[in-house]
Amino acid sequence: MLHNDIVGHLVLSVYTNPRMRHSGHSGIAVRDDWQARGVGTGLIKACVDLADNWLGLARLDLRVYVDNAPAIALYEKFGFEIEGTHRRFALRDGEYVDAHVMARLR
């Protein structure tokens, strides 16, 4: 049976500044009821493949909330490392939360 439900989303943007064209920024989202089922792994695998083998990017970065341990572990599995932390990065449930900047260098 074929379903048309969207369970995940991936975005990969290449920076347009000529000095940064070797770099891209990515982000994923996985629907709550599909987490821990391989969707995030598939999305990041596709993202890294696109960045490495089609766009020739030397750097790929992303942001992740500091309390999202499963996502941080997933990104680390693909070679991303925490570079720093944005304090009070986003408003979530009426409170500001911090986010790490993670990057993967090739």
Looking up residue 56, the CATH number of its domain turns out to be 3.40.630.30
What is the CB neighbour count within 10 angstroms for residue 55? 15
In a domain, 16, yes or no: yes
Tell me the DSSP string of 37-72.
TTHHHHHHHHHHHIIIIIS--SEEEEEEETT-HHHH
Query: Does 90 map to a domain?
Result: yes
The dihedral through the CA atoms of 41, 26, 47, 101 has a sign that is negative
Per-residue pLDDT for the chain (106 aa), expressed as one digit of tens each? Answer: 567 889 999 999 999 999 999 999 999 999 999 989 999 999 999 999 999 999 999 999 999 999 999 999 999 999 999 999 999 999 999 999 999 999 999 9
82 is in which domain, residue-wise? 8-105
| Residue 1 is assigned to a structural domain of this protein | no
Task: Provide the pLDDT for residue 97.
Answer: 98
Domains of the chain: total:
1
Distance CA 45, CA 49 (A): 6
Please give the structure tokens belonging to residue 54. 């089609």
Helix (H) or strand (E) holding 77: helix 69-77
**Does residue 2 sit within a domain?**
no
Could you tell me the pTM of the whole model? 0.90
| pLDDT, position 2 | 60
Write down the residue that tokens 């409170």 correspond to. 95
Query: What pLDDT score was predicted for residue 4?
Result: 81
